[in-house]
Every structure is written in structure tokens, then in C-alpha cells.
Amino acid sequence: MSFFKKLKEKITNQTTEVTDKFKQGLEKTRDSFVGRMNELVYRYRKVDEDFFEELEELLISADVGVTTVMELIDELKDEVRLRNIKDTKEIQPVISEKLAELLEKEGDDVSLNLQESGMTVILVVGVNGVGKTTSIGKLAHHLKQQGKSVMMAAGDTFRAGAIEQLEVWGERVGVDVIKQQAGSDPAAVMYDALQAAKARKIDVLLCDTAGRLQNKVNLMNELEKVKRIIEREVPGAPHEVLLVLDATTGQNAMSQAKTFGQSTDVSGIVLTKLDGTAKGGIVLAIRHELDIPVKFIGLGEKVDDLQPFDAEQFVYGLFKDVLEAEQEDSQ
């Protein structure tokens, strides 16, 4: 049974607050992208080359990514031939189903690599302004809610105010922050934090890092140095290297992922500000074009607006109107 059919069966009893979070957080993308797709379907009536051309433009404008769009359009054309679809209304659920299948990468493990025994060290990287500090604070809150003891390391000693900003989050979520003064060597901060976390038998140490230095080479070298200290002090760590990307920066986020991915073997992506963009299609591009799973998405500025990525919740948040209409038709 297709992912889409399974999803339709599941949404009937999904009324959790998480579902509402995804629905509210994805409102801009739903209204724009899905709304424009519905308009296209009703304006064209017949499925022809012009329809596919406009659908292609619409998907690209939603930041789905050219490579992904080309593959998707080809698959849709095959499906139209296979099912002998003539009317655009018939193709609408097929489009949603294809997008859903893109999101649900078989075997994709989006859970955090938390250690059963001993400390888990999570390094958080990303350029400034993407929501890194905020995401670390939210992640600390999320882990505490799971009963984990958490500590944060103020590894961004470069940007003025970064240390204080992390301390504000530490107070907000009730988590200690290990820091030194601005301008200190981040490797020294990490060393202190690792010793303190080990001494207090902390479950998870979240390490903030600089989002900008004088240039990219220095930044990547500093991240490598920080990683070496972590690996030396906690064998097998860091257990996660989370790259924070800002969904509102669209394809720019893809190039950041490629840059960081080349030099810091990123294990997962935190995609922030999805509530602030109508171009939520970037999730499809990231999942389809990069080999890095999206592990969390930011759906707002509040402390519980960081949600573990869930393809079903995401699709439901995007296509709930189409799904519910389908649900009614089939009753």
C-alpha cells in the first residue's frame, strides 16, 4: 500500500498537539504552494504539456529544487500514461502522493543518535542568523522533556553576544552553560565543558559553535579542532553533528549544507523558520538531493516549536485539505 494510502488511514485519529503544530507551522507553505497547485489543477482541466510546464515552475518557485522537480515531473508523466489520466483533478492526489513518497525516504533514520550508556555529545554548526542558538535551546528543552540531563557549551566565542544569548536560553530551559570570555579558544571551552559534563554524569552535552570567522577556511579548521578535542575526551563522539539551516534562505541553504557537509561530516539537519516561509518545498530538495536526514524542523520562536521531523506529519500539514476532501469523497 502506498505511503499516501497509509497516511490517509492514519490521519483520521491523529489529533495530537504535534499534528496541530505541523498544521499551524506549515500554513504559509500550504496556503501558497498547495493553494496555487489547486488553482492550477482547476484552471487547466486537461493534463497536457502546458499543465506540466506550469506545475514545474510552481514546484521550483516553492524551492523544491530543479533536480528534484525534473525527476518528479518525469515520474508524474509516467504515472499519467500508466493510469491513462486525462483530467487534472485525477492527477492532484497523484502529485501529493509523489511528493509524500519523496519525503519518506525508506530506511531514513531521523532519530537522534543518543547513547544508551555514557554521555552523548552533539555538535551544532551553521552560519550566523539561521537559528542555531535558538535551536540549541529548544533541543535542550526537548531532551529535558525526555528525562535527559543536559548541559550546553558556549563554543561561539567569536560573535559578540553569542555567549550571553546561549546563557539566556540556559536560564529559560534550566540548563547549565559552560563558557569562557568572548575571544577564548573554543577548543578550551569544549575541554572545560566535557570535563564538567563527565564529572556531573550529564546525559547530553550540546555544543554551540561559531557561525562565522574571518573566512570559511578558518571556520572549518576551527570546527575540525573542536571535533578533535571532543573525540579525544569522549571516544566515539561527537555522536551527532547537526547543521542548522534557515528554510527561508531557500537554495542558499542547500549550498551551505554542501559546504559544511564536505568538511564536518554532518549527521543531521535542523531546518528552522519553516513557519516563516511559503517555500517549504526546500525540505523535499534537502531530503532528495542531500544524503543528510532532516532530523528537526523549526516551526516558530517558542521553546516547543522545534519538532522531530516526521514525513507523515509534514505531508498531512501540507496536504490536509486535499486529504480530507479525498476522505469525504471516499465515504
Ligand X SMILES: Nc1nc2c(ncn2[C@@H]2O[C@H](COP(=O)(O)OP(=O)(O)OP(=O)(O)O)[C@@H](O)[C@H]2O)c(=O)[nH]1
Q: Are strands 150-153 and 176-178 parallel, antiparallel or unpaired?
A: parallel
Q: Is 16 known as a binding-site position?
A: no
CA torsion sign, 114 to 115 to 117 to 118? Answer: negative
Which residue number, 211 or 317, has a Cβ lying nearer to ligand X?
Answer: 211
Q: Is 236 known as a binding-site position?
A: no
> Could you say whether residue 272 binds ligand X (CB under 6 A)?
yes
Q: Any long-range contacts for 249-257 (C-beta under 8 Å, 24+ apart)? A: 249/130, 250/63, 250/277, 250/279, 250/282, 251/63, 251/65, 251/282, 251/285, 253/130, 253/282, 253/286, 254/65, 254/282, 254/285, 254/286, 254/289, 254/290, 256/126, 256/127, 256/130, 257/286, 257/290, 257/292
Q: Is 128 known as a binding-site position?
A: yes
- Which listed residue (47, 140, 153, 162) binds ligand X by CB under 6 A? 162
> Could you say whether residue 298 binds ligand X (CB under 6 A)?
yes
Q: Is 275 known as a binding-site position?
A: yes
Q: Hey, which residues does 124 pair with through a beta bridge? A: 242
> Could you say whether residue 129 binds ligand X (CB under 6 A)?
yes
Q: Is 127 known as a binding-site position?
A: yes
Which residue number, 119 or 125, has a Cβ lying nearer to ligand X?
Answer: 125
Distance (Å, whole) CA 92 – CA 80? 11
The label of the residue with cell 499516501 reads: 4
| Number of CB atoms found within 10 A of residue 154's CB | 28
- What would the grid cell of residue 253 be? 541553504
Distance (Å, whole) CA 303 – CA 220? 29
> Could you say whether residue 300 binds ligand X (CB under 6 A)?
yes
> Could you say whether residue 131 binds ligand X (CB under 6 A)?
yes
Q: Smallest distance, Å, CB 304 to ligand X?
A: 11
Binding-site size for ligand X (CB under 6 A) equals 21
Q: In this chain, which stretch among 123-131, 190-198, 228-236, 316-324 interacts with ligand X, using CB under 6 A?
A: 123-131
Give me the 58-97 binding string for ligand X, x by CB under 6 A, dash otherwise. ----------------------------------------
Q: In this chain, which stretch among 30-38, 147-155, 284-292, 295-303 interacts with ligand X, using CB under 6 A?
A: 295-303
The label of the residue with cell 539566556 reads: 168
Which one, of 247, 258, 243, lies nearest residue 63 by Cα?
A: 247
> Could you say whether residue 276 binds ligand X (CB under 6 A)?
yes
Distance (Å, whole) CA 94 – CA 218? 47
Which residue number, 26 or 95, has a Cβ lying nearer to ligand X?
Answer: 26
The CA–CA distances, whole Å, from 79 to 8, 75, 245, 325 equal 20, 6, 34, 22
> Could you say whether residue 159 binds ligand X (CB under 6 A)?
yes
Q: Of 207-226, which residues contact ligand X (CB under 6 A)?
A: 211
Q: Is 209 known as a binding-site position?
A: yes
Q: Smallest distance, Å, CB 306 to ligand X?
A: 7
Which one, of 222, 219, 286, lies nearest residue 255 by Cα?
A: 286
Q: Smallest distance, Å, CB 244 to ligand X?
A: 6
Q: Is 270 known as a binding-site position?
A: no
Residue number with the smallest Cβ distance to ligand X: 298
The size of the chain, in residues, is 331
Q: Is 273 known as a binding-site position?
A: yes
Which residues fall in the annotated binding site?
126-133, 208-212, 272-275
- Give the residues lining the site for ligand X (CB under 6 A): 126, 128-134, 159, 162, 165, 211, 272-273, 275-276, 298-301, 305
